[in-house]
Amino acid sequence: MKQSSFKFQRELRLLNSRDYSRVFDKAFKINNKVFTLLVRENDLGHPRLGLVIAKKNLKFAHQRNWVKRILREAFRLNQSSLKSYDMVILTRRDIAVLPKTDIIHLRDDLFERFRKRCK
């Protein structure tokens, strides 16, 4: 796999319930006001991302799609420094009431806290 590519390729995604279950079973958590990041090491040599964006937290599809877009963007831009981890990002209830700029700031904070913890 090319590390210089910024595409969100198929091998960078958690694709099935077995992949998600593996992360949910034995993950360490990093939380902030609107996101929960579950992380578990993998043996693949590259990171993978899964997203759980609940309808009860973001009522409208355009909101859920925007959140998924900004999370994938942050993952793609940081993938070279994320090592071999499977990650699942979940949204929390408070996300619906925050402005977009705050959500982006909290997203960046989440990835920064992850990098500090996994050095």
Report the CATH number that the domain containing residue 25 is assigned in CATH.
3.30.230.10
3-state helix, strand, coil in the chain (%, to 5): 45, 20, 35
Q: Residue 91 forms beta bridges with which residues?
A: 35
Residue 94, pLDDT score: 87
| Residue in 7, 3, 14, 10 with CA at minimum distance from that of residue 89 | 14
Residue 87, pLDDT score: 95
Task: Tell whether 1 is covered by a domain.
Answer: no
105 is in which domain, residue-wise?
10-117
Task: Tell whether 31 is covered by a domain.
Answer: yes
Task: Tell whether 39 is covered by a domain.
Answer: yes
> In the structure, what pLDDT confidence band is assigned to residue 79 with cuts at 50, 70 and 90?
confident
